[in-house]
Amino acid sequence: MSYQVVHFINGRSVSDHSRIQAIYNPATGDVIGHVAMADKTTVENAIATAKAAFPAWAATPPLRRARIFFQYKTLLEKHLDELARLVTQEHGKTLSDARGSVQRGIELVDFVCGMPNLLKGSYAENVATDVDCYSIRQPLGVCVGITPFNFPAMIPLWMFPMAIAAGNTFVLKPSERDPSCAIRLAELAKEAGLPDGVLNVVQGDKEVVDVLLRHPDVKTISFVGSTHIAESVYHTGTAHGKRVQAFGGAKNHGVVMPDADIEQVVDAIVGAAYGSAGERCMAISVAVAVGDNVADALIKKLIPRVQQLKIGPGTQPDVEMGPLVSQQHWERVRSYIDLGVNEGASLVVDGRAFKPKGHEKGFYMGGSLFDNVTSAMRIYKEEIFGPV
């Protein structure tokens, strides 16, 4: 059954008459819903709501704020399986991976339950003649989080609980590819006792982000996504006087020494490179073998393991890797594999044609493995963000 995901502003669902975008189940390739893409008025409404809620929330004692997060943690744990199913349904992760990501988000909520202690300042006497020095921690105002598609529960939970427990209010802009989880997180926060307007969620794309980056009432921005967009977010946000932290892509290396246990190394690489279909910035996408003998042994052991990866819908219990998030992303990863072949690397395992039986319309990519890669190649230098 198709559903529609809207915005969450001032403690309630808000719809507008702007654009909509399809939500896909990556495992089947089917449209399962639609998400409303906020217009400028809706985004400004969310910011104004957060600004209006800020004075009372900032004046709330940290201990009372922390009590709400104790309750929030309990609700998240109660609804962990529900949240994991939402992640798998719209992103494609295996259920075990989805559960793990939600749990890592809950761990941050657990951490912010200690916010009364974390907010303590400091005091020093006689730092100079007749001079004492003290520091205090004060909330800034409206904070913004712009989060990616690959961890639709974990990364929002790494952002807004910290900001809100410190006395700020928040506007969250999740990925439009898997937007439902953010709404459920906000609903559970309200159920835990968070006052209306403290946490707001707006759906959308670049049009929404542009408003958030430039709006004078937004004080700080946290972003996770591709390097190109991270650079744009950082420069635009700081140019408009905001504090910005922008996390981009990565190309992570694993170095395999001559005395390494190759069986153990292969186990680690398969999990680190192909887990979550490689759609994570901490994926180990490059293995640097020290010496030809090590490289030959590593490739010999890796090839059958990559070929034997169990790939299918994330809801199946024995699956090790689900689909990619979208057809567009599948095509991007495919283009990098094509590029590696053209650059002269040896494609020893080719996952481009993989389609699990009965799920041919899904966005599946088999594990792929290159050998003889040089540091001059783009597949070495650029983040592929797939099972390569």
State the Cα–Cα distance between residues 138 and 144, nearest whole angstrom: 17
CB 160 within 8 A of CB 199: yes
State phi, psi for 269 to the nearest 5 degrees.
-65, -40
181 is annotated as an active-site residue:
no
> Which value, in Å, is the radius of gyration of the alpha carbons in the chain?
23
Helices (H), 240-347: 262-274, 292-307, 327-343
Distance CA(387)–CA(285), nearest Å, equals 8
- CA 12 to each of CA 76, 200, 210: distance values in angstroms, whole numbers, following the listed order: 19, 9, 24
Catalytic residue among 113, 143, 181, 281: 281
- Reference 248, options 230, 265, 233; nearest CA is 230
Q: What is the DSSP string of 284-309?
A: EEEEEESSHHHHHHHHHHHHHHHHT-
CB 23 within 8 A of CB 327: no
- Measured between alpha carbons, how far is residue 171 from residues 143, 281, 326 in Å? 6, 24, 26
Report d(CA 216, CA 234) in Å as an integer.
Answer: 16
Q: Are 224 and 155 in contact (CB under 8 A)?
A: yes
Positions annotated as catalytic residues are: 281
